Structure 1
Amino acid sequence: MPLRKRKPSPDNTSSVSHDAGDPAEASNDGGYNAGIAVFSYIIGGIIVWSLIGWGLDNLWGTRWIVLLGALLGAAGGFYLSHMHGLTKQRTSAGESSADRGPSKDGNSNAK
């Protein structure tokens, strides 16, 4: 990417930034990172809780707790990603409110 100089800051030092080029490219980085974080939470939860279930299965002589642990880990991963705000639908900069669907307050002008 080409480099460009910014205006000098108040303390008379100039900084160099990367030219983003396409504004849509800058807004899409967060979606990819959020997707990787959601994937990590879910897979990590499944692995950790499956191992805990496997250990309890071996300790107690059962065979079903590992499955319960996997389901608990997946649910916990979804919960964590939701609580961290990673599952919200993001809108692009050029999208109007009409493109997102009906209003949330139920007031529509359709007759």
Structure 2
Amino acid sequence: MPTTGQEPTEGPDTPSGSGDARYSNGGYNAGMAVFSYIIGGILVWSLIGWWLDNLLDTRWLVLAGAFLGAAGGFYLSHMHNLTRDHTPNPQSGSRPTPGAGTGPE
């Protein structure tokens, strides 16, 4: 028993193992994917801007590339549904079921 006086909750790491594995690390994994898309976009498009700056003898394309990469990374994250909330509804106490309540009973 925990020493904090709280009852153990069932989850993916409890001995019963009745938790749904899809929700165990969804927030962390989605956060890392969003971070990767944004940082990767900034790096790639900054390098492209730096190359164009050297080619065209300008000094502002690297900054434009960084902004374009950040916007593109956020756009990719949004299109892959990584920016929405994946947590279950705390009011109902259960996880949402796809298609629940949409058909005739």
Give yes or no for TM over 0.5: yes
TM-score (norm 2): 0.66
Is it true that 1:42 corresponds to 2:75 in the alignment?
no
Q: Deviations over 1:42-76 (max 9, x none)?
A: 00000000000000000000000000000000000
The CA deviation at 1:90 is 1.9
What code does the residue aligned with 1:71 have?
F
Does 1:92 pair with 2:53?
Answer: no
| Bigger fraction of residues in helix | 1
Fraction of identical pairs, as percent: 65
Structure 2's unaligned 5+ residue stretches are 1-11, 93-105
Q: Which entry has the higher C-alpha Rg, 1 or 2? A: 1
- With the length of structure 1 as denominator, give the TM-score of the two structures: 0.63
* 2:54 aligned residue: 58
User: 8 Å contact 1:57–1:63 — kept in the other structure?
Assistant: yes
- 8 Å contact kept, 1:20–1:26: no
What SS class does the counterpart of residue 72 from structure 1 fall into? helix
Structure 1: 5+ residue stretches without partners: 1-18, 98-111
The number of aligned residues is 78
List 4+ stretches of structure 1 deviating above 4 A.
none
